[in-house]
């Protein structure tokens, strides 16, 4: 079972700042089958990134992501008001699938 | 794009069986064989938890922690996916979401287990 560890748990930033979120996997995620989701209270999760670095349809280009071995990074280049939310990584390479614990991006 | 509508009982007593259904509507008629469907949940104040998945052939994968209590099934004639979780406890209180592939999700169903 692949365990995903996200850091930090909380990121306090101001609009316009850059956010860097990390997700570490306990073992190799084959084919970099890793996704990033944005989740806001009362809403369904929103897919941002799939295959570690590909933006989903309609996702602004201020969202980017990368992979290096078992370490994955989501970057929001300049935070906008609607970006304050909780972000989760998920691996879909190996069953059982798994989510990281989440990073809350909050307004400083 | 497809839309998912989900429904089911929102209040259960301990030891009862949680039953949720997720219906797939719309779409562009893409190949059904490209799809798989997942159930995830979010307990109050906690993160997302993956529960299980089923593909178009009916093959399933389950979370090891729930495998003994969880059944996910597919009715292709109705374009519906079902989740059944037996012997629920307060720890199963959560918002439950169904999803298609990675990018289409239902609006969530709040399930509370309380005596």
Best probe of the B interface among A4, A31, A58, A95, by most B CBs < 10 A, is: A95
* Predicted pLDDT of residue B32: 62
The 10s digit of each residue's pLDDT in B22-36 is: 999 886 655 566 789
The residue of chain A nearest to residue B54, with distances taken between CA atoms, is A95
Phi-psi region of B78 (alpha: psi -120 to 50; beta: other; left: phi over 0): alpha
Average predicted confidence (pLDDT) for chain B:
93
Q: Which of residues 20-79 of B touch A (CB under 8 A)?
A: 38, 40, 42, 47-50, 52-53, 61-64
Q: How far apart are CA B5 and CA B75, in angstroms?
A: 15
Q: Nearest CA of chain A to the CA of B15: how many Å?
A: 25
- Contact between A37 and B63 using a beta-carbon 8 Å cutoff: no
The 10s digit of each residue's pLDDT in A7-17 is: 999 999 999 99
Size of interface A-B (CB pairs under 8 A): 53
Cβ atoms B80, B22 nearer than 8 A = yes
Residue A20 has pLDDT above 70, yes or no: yes
């Amino acid at each position: 079972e692949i365990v995903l560890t996200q850091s930090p748990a909380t990121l306090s930033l101001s609009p316009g700042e850059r956010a860097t979120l990390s997700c570490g996997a306990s073992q190799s995620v084959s084919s970099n089958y890793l996704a990033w989701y944005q989740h806001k209270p009362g809403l369904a999760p929103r897919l941002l990134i799939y295959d570690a670095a590909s933006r989903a349809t309609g996702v602004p280009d201020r969202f980017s992501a990368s992979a290096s071995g078992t370490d994955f990074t989501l970057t929001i280049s300049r935070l906008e008001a609607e970006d304050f939310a909780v972000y989760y990584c998920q691996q879909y390479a190996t069953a059982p699938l798994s989510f990281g614990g989440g990073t809350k991006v909050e307004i400083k | 794009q497809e839309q998912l509508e989900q429904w089911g009982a929102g209040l259960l007593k301990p030891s009862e069986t949680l039953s949720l259904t997720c219906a797939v509507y719309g779409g562009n008629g893409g190949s059904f064989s490209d799809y798989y469907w997942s159930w995830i949940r979010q307990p109050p104040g906690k993160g997302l938890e993956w529960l299980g998945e089923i593909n178009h052939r009916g093959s399933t994968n389950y979370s090891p922690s729930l495998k003994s209590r969880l059944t996910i099934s597919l009715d292709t004639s109705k374009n519906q996916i079902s989740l059944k979780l037996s012997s629920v406890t307060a720890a199963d209180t959560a918002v439950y979401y169904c999803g298609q592939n990675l990018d289409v999700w239902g609006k969530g169903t709040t399930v509370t287990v309380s005596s």
